[in-house]
Amino acid sequence: MCGIIGFTGYERAKDVLLAGLASLEYRGYDSAGISCFTKDKGITTIKSVGKVSELKALVPEDLASTCGIGHTRWATHGGVSRENAHPHTCGNVTLIHNGIIENYLSLRDELSTTGRSPVSDTDSEIAAMLIDSLYTGDAHTAIAAAVTRLEGAYAFCILFADQPDKIYCIRKGSPLVACQTEMGSIIASDMVALLRYSKDYFVLEENVIACLTRDAIEVTTLEGKVLASDYLTVTWDVSSAQKNGFKHYMEKEIHEQPDALLRTITPRLVKYSESGEFYMLPDFTADGIPDTLFLGLTRIIITACGTAMHAGMMGKILFEEFLRIPVTVDIASEFRYQNPILDANTLVITVSQSGETADTLAALRLARSKGARTLSIVNVKGSSIARESEYVFYTHAGPEIAVASTKAYTAQLAAFYLIAFRSAFACGRMPIEQCAKYTEDLSSVVLSIERVLERRDEFKTISRHLIKASDLFFIGRGMDYALSCEGSIKLKEITYIHSESYAAGELKHGTLSLIAPDVPVIALATQHDVLAKMVSNIKEVRARGAFVILVTAKDAVIEPELYDFRIDLPETSDRFAPFTAAVVLQLIAYNTSYLRGLDVDQPRHLAKSVTVE
């Protein structure tokens, strides 16, 4: 949430900041602003409500500055207004902030006795006031003193009016990554803003202070000890964070799924030999994940938020089927406050595309503090969750920019399939032949997804029927129920159509009263073992006039009177149908949003990376 960027160097700051903000805009897009050191005039601040393009229109072409900070906001404290947009200035201090200062009200009252009063409703401005109140010419001392008073999460980039061309930064909870290049020093919330300048970057540790000057980034502890920075390298190139001819990032990312899955699955396949036979099995030696992680487990808890949590629901089904130990799936924001029972025989799996989701990170920290084993499934290399987890399984989906998660979800599914197969094999609960067969089937979903993508126009007809809907239901059983949760969130977050997912057998316990004539019901019936039951549930909604869109297997025998549209998935065994069905649901959501004329990539009120609780 909120994108922040700072640059000091040899290029025009405004160009670097505006380009960076455009690439970080998915983190928040209700208002934006920049502050730059300018010759003679000191710090110039320009802010506007709306998107980065609106800010850009206000920034003078000749803004001569080579050092500045920029922010794109996702409002938490205070409405969407120019006053509440960042940067905020108090006295000598101008700052941008990502996170939430929880004790800002008491600080505000305290600081009002020093003659400082805020002009905005934000918690961030109070941080500027606090740092200014502690500043007597030594930035390091003022920041170090300020953070002992701040409760909550923050990533700050700070300019001091009397220290031209320097940017000070500190973080706790919210991300910051930085790189030093020939054109200068640059820091941002996310690597995507650095990509056009460098593939090498480092993650700023929590509670250390970075001072950016043109030619160096000095990182010191709060006590002033200089630290070395460990650089990481991304394999992405600039084009992987661009639209590459697609209308929207979401459309592009849906189409990138075959590659994302190949990159996630293939490096984990290793040839084993047994009794003279060769088998390709999942193997996580290169990931540093030992089989012993799975031995002696009595329980698995999967915790995550949103789409990542829905991937976890599928993980539960797989682990319980193959590993045969109990699994619970918890929403991370609930898990952390329910005093979970954890021990050394519990494996807590956290799942996150960004690796920065505040609730998931807090759940992971809780799990570690209680002595559970921890494994994270994460897409962003070097992110907080990846760094703090005992073991990490990286999905290699590449940068996901659209707020609606698509390729990260199917890559998370692939991760769960691989981990379920490997853990069951390692624990002696899945014979090698079976493990090899399932692994082969998993690899073949890549081709099946390609077949679905070739049929994308077919699903537009369905979206044309959905654009006028005000309510919609997804129903399914087993894996199809887990998938219906994902289908529903995808549709509602980008189309603004109210939608709910229901375990099909649960409808008659309340929800059927909402099924009126022509209410669309997307019925997922991909699992043969519950097909007959599912057909009964479809009959129940059909009898009440529902407009039924059926997603099913080619060979499923279902009376045509029971549906208005039927989508047959490419042939796969039922166990792997969630991959192809997910792509169908993503395309339906995407087309419906587009046909409704909405902002597909940046839906209202949402942001990509949720770094506040």
List of residues contacting ligand M6R (CB under 6 A): 305-308, 352-354, 357, 360, 403-405, 489-490, 493, 609-610
Q: Which helix (H) or strand (E) covers residue 215, if one does?
A: none
Q: How far apart are CA 317 and CA 110, in angstroms?
A: 53
**Quick one: which of 589, 553, 318 has its CA closest to 448?**
553
Smallest gap, in angstroms, from Cβ of residue 356 to ligand M6R?
A: 7
Smallest gap, in angstroms, from Cβ of residue 294 to ligand M6R?
A: 23
Residue 20 vs 175, nearer CB to ligand M6R: 175
Smallest gap, in angstroms, from Cβ of residue 1 to ligand M6R?
A: 10
Smallest gap, in angstroms, from Cβ of residue 359 to ligand M6R?
A: 8
What is the length of the chain? 613
CA atoms within 13 A on the CB side of 428: 2
Residue 52 vs 364, nearer CB to ligand M6R: 364
- Pair type for strands 327-331 and 299-304: parallel
**Quick one: which of 572, 264, 270 has its CA closest to 444?**
572
Q: How far apart are CA 471 and CA 473, in angstroms?
A: 7
Q: How far apart are CA 476 and CA 467, in angstroms?
A: 22
**Quick one: which of 406, 433, 37 has its CA closest to 273?**
433
Smallest gap, in angstroms, from Cβ of residue 298 to ligand M6R?
A: 27
Q: How far apart are CA 422 and CA 415, in angstroms?
A: 11
DSSP per position, 263-294: HHHGGGEEEEEETTEEEEEE--GGGT--GGGG
Smallest gap, in angstroms, from Cβ of residue 367 to ligand M6R?
A: 15
Is the separation of the CB atoms in 437 and 485 below 8 Å? no
Beta-carbon contacts of residue 210 (< 8 Å; ≥ 6 apart)? 168, 169, 170, 176, 178, 187, 204, 217, 218, 219
**Quick one: which of 287, 253, 291 has its CA closest to 267?**
287
Is the separation of the CB atoms in 411 and 261 below 8 Å? yes
Burial class of 271 by CB neighbour count within 10 A (0 to 12, 13 to 18, 19+): exposed
Q: How far apart are CA 223 and CA 566, in angstroms?
A: 66
* Three-state helix/strand/coil letters over 297-343: CCEEEEEECHHHHHHHHHHHHHHHHHCCCCEEEEEHHHHCCCCCCCC
Could you list the active site residues? Answer: 2, 608
Residue 591 vs 609, nearer CB to ligand M6R: 609
Residue 87 vs 306, nearer CB to ligand M6R: 306
How far is residue 281 CA from its own chain's centroid? 29
Residue 437 vs 492, nearer CB to ligand M6R: 492
Residue 307 vs 389, nearer CB to ligand M6R: 307
Smallest gap, in angstroms, from Cβ of residue 146 to ligand M6R?
A: 29
Burial class of 79 by CB neighbour count within 10 A (0 to 12, 13 to 18, 19+): exposed
- Residue 558: how many other CB atoms lie within 10 Å: 18
Smallest gap, in angstroms, from Cβ of residue 599 to ligand M6R?
A: 14
Question: Cα–Cα distances in Å, from 73 out to 3, 30, 78, 238, 550?
Answer: 7, 6, 11, 24, 40
Task: Calculate ∠ Cα 157-161-166, nearest 5°.
Answer: 50
Residue 5 vs 489, nearer CB to ligand M6R: 489
Residue 364 vs 515, nearer CB to ligand M6R: 364
Smallest gap, in angstroms, from Cβ of residue 49 to ligand M6R?
A: 23
**What are the tokens at 468?**
């006028």
Residue 11 vs 500, nearer CB to ligand M6R: 500
Smallest gap, in angstroms, from Cβ of residue 494 to ligand M6R?
A: 8
